[in-house]
Amino acid sequence: MTTATGPTATIEFDDRTPRLFVLASIVWGIVGMLVGVLVAAQLNWHWLNFDLPWTTFGRLRPVHTNAVIFAFVGNMMFAGVYHSTQRLCKCRTASDLLSKIHFWGWQLIILAAAITLPLGLTRSKEYAELIWPINIAVAAIWIVFAVNFFWTLAKRNEPSLYVAIWFYIATIITVTMLYVVNHLQIPTSLTHSYPIFGGVQDALVQWWYGHNAVAFFLTTPILGIMYYYLPKAANRPVYSYRLSIVHFWSLVFIYIWAGPHHLLNTALPKWLQLLGMFFSLMLWAPSWGGMLNGLLTLRGAWNRLRTDPVIKFFAVAITFYGMATFEGPLLSIRAVNSLSHYTDWGIGHVHSGTLGWNGFMAAGMFYWLAPRLWRRKDKNGNDIPPDDENTSCNGLYSIAGANMHFWIGTVGILLYVGSMWIAGITQGLALNATTDDGTMLRYPDFVETSVAIRPLMATRVVGGVLYLAGFFILAWNIFMTAAKGRATNESREVVLLERQKKKKKTTPDSMTLRETFKNDPVTLTLSGLVCLCLWFFLPPLADTVALLCTIGFGVLAVIRFRQHGANWSLWYERLLENWMPFTVLTFVAVAIGGFIQILPTVTVNRAKNIEGRLQELYTPLELAGRDIYVAEGCYNCHSQMIRTMVPDVLRYGPAPNQGYSRIGESIYDHPFQWGSRRIGPDLAREGGVRPNSWHYQHMMNPRSTSGESNMPSYPWLADQKTDLKALPKKIAVLQRLGVPFPAMTRDEIQQNALEQGMTIRKELEASGAYVAEDSQMVAMIAYLQKLGSFVDTTAAPEEETPAPNPSQPRGPVEPAIPDATRNEAATAQR
Amino acid sequence: MFQRLNLESWHGIIPVIAFILTFGVFIYFVVRAVTMKKKDVNHISRLPLDDDSDHTNDNS
């Protein structure tokens, strides 16, 4: 371990950037939480959708999730990273210009998201909804952030990399990897694109990203912040630095594998489900290691829990981290997941993490930072020192206000999370309940189970309002501190690190990439891993050779370690003082999990390999309807995945030729629409169940067909035109992605869509509903009536199954429930 | 063939291999953490608290 030697100098930190990010986080946090309260209220009082396209639940829910994740927590994270990295590296941020570009670029991206999402411009992948031009902007700004961060590391005057920096490194490289892979897409226009993955591939990639967005955007950077600000607030070092090392590597290595737990009991291959469950359970250990390390850091400082709001917020935040990371593995057990998935239990789990862990860590950090970033003076004109024996936020405008925020926020979280737990378990039990030896559903009416949890959903709104009220107090407190104080940049005298030539091996950042990889620990481990992978893939005999090679490399590693063990230790110790090889090693650790999970799925689970059911291709009009379904955010409430569970099959696929959803039934869906929450019923086999006129009435006013429904009305679908001109380009892109649409000219595509539209229009006219054949309503009905259509490839194994021709629109839909009886039957079905 | 690959072979093997891999990584870093020199641990763990001077500049 080297220490800094050399001349000293006074450096001035760039505290303007953290100040801006703190203020932006507070402003966007209020916006995101306000929208959150609104969408929560919409589920109880449907009229709050205001019958306007841009204020429906389906369009606003992504505004809420994106705002709180990327705007609130994102800005908070950047504030913490910029502030703490300078102190830990004992140098100013590398480039003020890059900091400015990062800040303003990020705010513009948030603004663009806040405009485009309510307009229905979405990719429909959760937490990855933004359209492709914004995706490119996000990538560019993220690179600016990464360059600035790593450049700062290269300039540092402290040889050692503190564990908080490790977490920041893991965040930057993993988010880059996740974001790039999950946003691979081909544009069809300036505002629309199709992801390159479809069906099960898209589901796996999406939840690999979605789960790890939680892991590497909402957790690892905040853990870095915890490891820096908690010791600062408690004025004592972290309880066990050794434990923090184990915490980091275990968390980073395990987290990336757990994504498939979002797809348990679905058509995802079982080995992936097992892997997701298995690793989620293992994740419990490092998470609790981190939690205990955090809480035990307060040893000897617990008395300050009474007087210091910063410690209060941190202690409760870490406790919620522990609760959420216990609950996550619990929900990943397949049996528990069969009850919890698609219900509000998941929503409660997420919010115990975001409101409790993220929100309270943010509050604690802001209260700690504010009196330091905006220094106040006492009556005598002297600076108020932020630290004394009772609190770490002296100089804050109102410590009493911070305490009030703490209690209001805590009660708000408990009301929110508690009500969602009860609502989720209640609805899950009701939806899964059967009678007559499991042959009948006890509660066949979906809406009945939804109505039963309305009081709990109202309680959730109250909890959300309380939490928001607490946050308003924070905003007032911080803004008043800023108004009464003066913006201050800290200066510090530091020992400048002597920059030596790279060949000398004891100086920081002296390790070249060649030295990093050309050594025994790396070459032997990688060789062993490659042989292990070959053992999976190679045919018999060759796989045995690969296995023997794996064992051989293991034996060789033991021999070499016994001969040169000291070199192995030296390599690791040097790695901890060299940010670039450390970053590469971290990337390898996080990439292994994704590689092993995604590669087989992407190469094997393709339409040409499907044995059994294969999705019928959409007609042009149905494809247009699907894009409207996506734009309206229907996936936020309706899944399209009947799980491999008796109650799911009884409710959504009871006919002999239906059953649970197979992997091939959505193989051409770009993007997939399996969903993550059932606020309404599953639609996987909605096609042909009800007549077109029912769908028309249901979308014009859902209460006309399902009296207690909380679904928004969509009257504008009847007036707005479908963009038929965009269809040829869309079909061409899908063809490039492997969807076997037959060759059709531009005119054929549009003519086909109009003909199918006219058929539907005439049917609607017969029941007294008048809409144009090119209206969005007609396209949406066409899509809904197609759901659940498939061909059975095993029916004629001797012949090559021809792809169904979408240029031949299906004839009039013959509903399972005729018009005459639909009103009574529809209620019973739902 | 692919159905068998999906549902049978991978099902059993991968989680076991993944567990062995993870356990190996875990043990390695536990050993590395435990064998760290106490002096180094103390030095690094005190880095957040290492702010001796406290000069400030107004709104620059």
Dist CA A465 CA A462 (whole Å): 5
The confidence score (pLDDT) of residue B4 equals 45
pTM of the model: 0.90
Q: Which B-chain residues 1-60 have CB contacts (< 8 A) with chain A?
A: 2-3, 5-7, 10-15, 17-19, 21-22, 25-26, 29-30, 32-37, 39-49, 51-60
A36 Cβ contact partners less than 8 Å away, ≥ 6 residues apart = A64, A68, A464, A468
Closest by alpha carbon to A735, among A749, A755, A724, A715? A749
Sign of CA dihedral A717, A720, A721, A723: negative
Backbone angles phi, psi at A540, to 5 degrees: -50, 150
The confidence score (pLDDT) of residue A810 equals 53
Dist CA A341 CA A347 (whole Å): 10
The confidence score (pLDDT) of residue A344 equals 96
Mean pLDDT of A246-273: 91
Q: How confident is the model at residue A507 (pLDDT cuts 50, 70, 90)?
A: very low
CA A356 vs CA A38, A279, A349: distances in Å: 20, 24, 10
Residues of B in Cβ contact (< 8 Å) with A486: 58-59
| Alpha-carbon gap: A237 to the closest alpha carbon of chain B (Å) | 5
Dist CA A182 CA A594 (whole Å): 12
Mean pLDDT of A731-752: 95
Q: Does residue A592 have a pLDDT over 90?
A: no
What is the SS3 assignment for A391-435?
CCCCCCCCHHHHHHHHHHHHHHHHHHHHHHHHHHHHHHHHHHCEE
Closest by alpha carbon to A732, among A75, A343, A194, A259? A194
Mean pLDDT of A64-83: 97
Backbone angles phi, psi at A655, to 5 degrees: -65, 155
A340 Cβ contact partners less than 8 Å away, ≥ 6 residues apart = A331, A346, A424, A425, A428
Dist CA A686 CA A789 (whole Å): 9
Q: Does residue A252 have a pLDDT over 60?
A: yes
The tens digit of pLDDT for each residue in A278-319 reads: 899 999 999 999 999 999 999 988 999 999 999 999 999 999
Neighbours of A721 (CB within 10 A): 10
Q: Give the DSSP H/E element, type plus range, for residue A495.
A: strand A486-495
Q: How confident is the model at residue A5 (pLDDT cuts 50, 70, 90)?
A: low
Dist CA A787 CA A665 (whole Å): 9
Q: What is the percent of chain A with per-residue pLDDT over 70, rounded to a whole number?
A: 93
Mean pLDDT of A68-91: 97
Length of chain B as a residue count: 60
The confidence score (pLDDT) of residue B34 equals 87
Length of chain A as a residue count: 830
- Written as one letter, the residue type at A456 is L
If one compares A533 and A368, the residue with the highest pLDDT of the two is: A368
Dist CA A233 CA A308 (whole Å): 9
If one compares A126 and B33, the residue with the highest pLDDT of the two is: A126
Residues of A in Cβ contact (< 8 Å) with B53: 10, 491-493
Residues of B in Cβ contact (< 8 Å) with A229: 48
Q: Does residue A383 have a pLDDT over 60?
A: yes
Q: How confident is the model at residue B11 (pLDDT cuts 50, 70, 90)?
A: low
Closest by alpha carbon to A644, among A361, A325, A369, A270? A270
The residues that bridge with A486 in the sheet, in sequence order, are A375
The confidence score (pLDDT) of residue A542 equals 86
Sign of CA dihedral A635, A637, A643, A648: negative
Q: Does residue A826 have a pLDDT over 50?
A: no
CA A415 vs CA A141, A341, A563: distances in Å: 37, 21, 61
Residues of B in Cβ contact (< 8 Å) with A12: 57, 60
Q: What is the percent of chain A with per-residue pLDDT over 90, rounded to a whole number?
A: 74
Per the CB < 8 A criterion, the answer to whether A495 and A157 are in contact is yes
Task: For tokens 């006074």, name the residue.
Answer: A10
Per the CB < 8 A criterion, the answer to whether A535 and A529 are in contact is no
HSE (side-chain half, CA atoms, 13 Å) at A335: 0
Dist CA A170 CA A532 (whole Å): 26
Q: Does residue B5 have a pLDDT over 80?
A: no
Three-class SS state of A75:
helix
The confidence score (pLDDT) of residue A780 equals 98
If one compares B17 and A378, the residue with the highest pLDDT of the two is: A378
Q: How confident is the model at residue B26 (pLDDT cuts 50, 70, 90)?
A: confident
- How many A/B residue pairs have CB atoms within 8 Å? 147
Per the CB < 8 A criterion, the answer to whether A575 and A582 are in contact is yes
Task: For tokens 């991978």, name the residue.
Answer: B10
The confidence score (pLDDT) of residue A34 equals 98
Cβ–Cβ gap A279/B32 under 8 Å: no
Q: Does residue A271 have a pLDDT over 90?
A: no
Q: Does residue B1 have a pLDDT over 60?
A: no
Mean pLDDT of B44-58: 69
Dist CA A452 CA A424 (whole Å): 11
Reply yes or no: is the peptide bond before residue A237 cis, omega within 30 of 0. Answer: no
Nearest residue of A to residue B16, measured between CA atoms: A275
- Written as one letter, the residue type at A193 is S
Q: Which of B34, B36, B57 sits opposite A488 (nearest CB)?
A: B57
Nearest residue of B to residue A162, measured between CA atoms: B44
The tens digit of pLDDT for each residue in A21-55 reads: 999 999 999 999 999 999 999 999 999 999 999 99
B31 Cβ contact partners less than 8 Å away, ≥ 6 residues apart = none
Closest by alpha carbon to B34, among A246, A716, A72, A349? A246
CA dihedral A180, A184, A189, A191 (to 10 degrees): -40
The tens digit of pLDDT for each residue in A164-191 reads: 999 999 999 999 999 999 999 999 999 9
Q: Does residue A411 have a pLDDT over 70?
A: yes
Q: Which A-chain residues 9-28 have CB contacts (< 8 A) with chain B?
A: 10, 12
Cβ–Cβ gap B44/A163 under 8 Å: yes
A774 Cβ contact partners less than 8 Å away, ≥ 6 residues apart = A721, A722, A724, A753, A754, A757
Neighbours of A10 (CB within 10 A): 10
Q: How confident is the model at residue A506 (pLDDT cuts 50, 70, 90)?
A: very low
CA A33 vs CA A112, A401, A637, A654: distances in Å: 18, 20, 20, 41
The confidence score (pLDDT) of residue A233 equals 95
Dist CA A509 CA A168 (whole Å): 18
On whether any CB of chain B is under 8 Å from the CB of A488, the answer is yes
Closest by alpha carbon to A424, among A336, A331, A343, A338? A343
If one compares A821 and A299, the residue with the highest pLDDT of the two is: A299
| DSSP annotation of A487 | E
The residues that bridge with A471 in the sheet, in sequence order, are none
If one compares A682 and A278, the residue with the highest pLDDT of the two is: A682
CA A170 vs CA A42, A165, A215, A255, A289: distances in Å: 38, 9, 10, 11, 18
Nearest residue of A to residue B12, measured between CA atoms: A271
Q: Does residue A699 have a pLDDT over 90?
A: yes
The confidence score (pLDDT) of residue A822 equals 43
Q: Which of A158, A490, A611 sits opposite B3 (nearest CB)?
A: A611
The residues that bridge with A193 in the sheet, in sequence order, are A187
Closest by alpha carbon to A662, among A633, A637, A685, A686? A685
Dist CA A361 CA A315 (whole Å): 9
- Written as one letter, the residue type at A292 is L
The confidence score (pLDDT) of residue A499 equals 66
Nearest residue of B to residue A597, measured between CA atoms: B14
The tens digit of pLDDT for each residue in A192-238 reads: 999 999 999 999 999 999 999 889 999 999 999 999 999 999 999 99
Dist CA A721 CA A778 (whole Å): 10
Task: For tokens 């770009």, name the residue.
Answer: A670
Q: Does residue B3 have a pLDDT over 90?
A: no
Q: Does residue A617 have a pLDDT over 50?
A: yes
Reply yes or no: is the peptide bond before residue A671 cis, omega within 30 of 0. Answer: yes
Closest by alpha carbon to A749, among A805, A803, A807, A804? A807
Q: At what angle do helices A454-484 and A360-373 cross, to 10 degrees?
A: 10
If one compares B23 and A676, the residue with the highest pLDDT of the two is: A676
Closest by alpha carbon to A91, among A147, A159, A2, A163? A159
Mean pLDDT of chain A: 91
Backbone angles phi, psi at A495, to 5 degrees: -85, 125
| DSSP annotation of A14 | -
